[in-house]
Structure 1
Amino acid sequence: MKAFKLLPLALLMLFVTSCSSVKVTADYDKAVDFQQYKTYAFFKEGIDQAKVNDLDKKRILNAIDANLAAKGLVKTDKNPDFVINIFTKAQEQVNVTNNSHFYSPYGYYGWGWGPYWGPNNTTVTTSIEGTLYIDILDTNKKALIWQGIGTGYLDKAPNPEKKEQRINDFIEKILAKFPPVIEKK
């Protein structure tokens, strides 16, 4: 009986954790030796066109810098090995929940007085699903060599610190796949 009482709480926790996760995919050129890359820069012209406000753009770039520095890569303005471009996409998701009639053979809240048909509640909520693309281009070949894509729900952060943490989580999960681990044959 206790298990049935805890079931709604368990389902709520599963929903909350699944909504906060980031789905990540990555693609890369298998012919490229990623160990040769040591320095990078941002592709300013492309980043300027990214459809995200300047505060969030700065947070994204800072998170990329911190993540790549932790991997031993160095940012430079002079002849970088690769450049990074970002772009974003957002899509509104509409969720409709219909809580159908509740029937109790014992009446309203089990107090006798005949059967009870409860309210029919329909709730509509919206959320924003955001996608962040991180492109890495070889400066000598002038070609895309790696792309990471992170998709997740963007919540209205109550303060800048929470927003920054959410962006850092996004970037960390995307760049966890860079550089790719290529198995030697």
Structure 2
Amino acid sequence: MKQLLILVIPLLIMSACGPTLKVSSDVDKQANFNAYQTFALYNPAGEQSPLSQLNRNRINNAIVAAMIAKGYTQSQDTTTADLLVNPVTIAKPGQNVTAYTNYYGYGGFYRPYFWGGGMGMASSNTTFTVDKYIDGSLIIDVVDRVRRQLLWQGVGNSQIDGPVKDPDIKIPEAVNKIMASLPRRM
């Protein structure tokens, strides 16, 4: 039993420390979502995405499933659908810089002072660590097709430090988390 705990606890800690998806959303409080019945996927920017075609398909399929679960019906025609749903992906390089200063070997917490109120001459050693990552965002816009007015927007943001493991599971989970606040059609 002890050996099992020794193996399981580090795995739980490592999985808890992975990058998390930060989600935010905004809605037009005046919009009556019950007035809308159909939706179509729409991408006015075209296929200019940092994602592979496979991942774009996973995102689109997850959006369709989430919209259907919310009570909307998919239309293939963007000229007649009530709502246009526009997924946009953004990926840009980012970095975290961490500085650690070691004063007299005591660590960064203690600072050497001379007696008598004056500050002593400290020999310090500062180390900088730079961690590079990709800052990835998925923005999902839901637009009234006739009025061309944004009704709802959901944004998911995460630090990406490698390929997504299990994209067939992780991508739909992320889309569902982003679209959780989209008003349901009654």
1:19 touches 1:152 (CA, 8 Å); kept in 2?
A: no
* 1:86 aligned partner: 87
SS in 2 for 1:45: coil
Shift of the 17–180 alpha-carbon distance from structure 1 to 2, 3 Å rule, reads farther
Pick 1 or 2: higher relative contact order, CA cutoff 8 A, min separation 6: 2
> In 1, distance between residues paired with 2:48 and 2:169?
24
Question: Identity of paired residues, percent?
Answer: 31
Decide which of 122, 127, 137 is 2:133's aligned counterpart: 127
Could you state the TM-score of these two structures normalised by the residue count of structure 2?
0.68
> In 2, distance between residues paired with 1:83 and 1:126?
36
> In 1, distance between residues paired with 2:164 and 2:40?
32
2:49 touches 2:90 (CA, 8 Å); kept in 1?
A: no
Could you state the TM-score of these two structures normalised by the residue count of structure 1?
0.68
For structure 1, the 5+ residue unaligned runs are 1-8, 104-119
Aligned-partner residue type, residue 63 of structure 2? I
What is the root-mean-square deviation of aligned Cα atoms in Å? 3.2
Q: Deviations over 1:70-96 (max 9, x none)?
A: 222211124211011121222322234
Decide which of 165, 168, 180 is 1:176's aligned counterpart: 180
* 1:156 aligned partner: 162
Q: Deviations over 1:2-44 (max 9, x none)?
A: xxxxxxx89x94x863643211111122211012222100114
* 1:35 aligned partner: 34
For structure 2, the 5+ residue unaligned runs are 1-8, 107-125
Higher percent of residues as helix:
1
* 1:142 aligned partner: 148
1:52 touches 1:88 (CA, 8 Å); kept in 2?
A: yes
Deviates more, 1:167-176 or 1:39-48: 39-48
> In 2, distance between residues paired with 1:165 and 1:129?
20
Count how many residue pairs are aligned between Structure 1 and Structure 2. 155
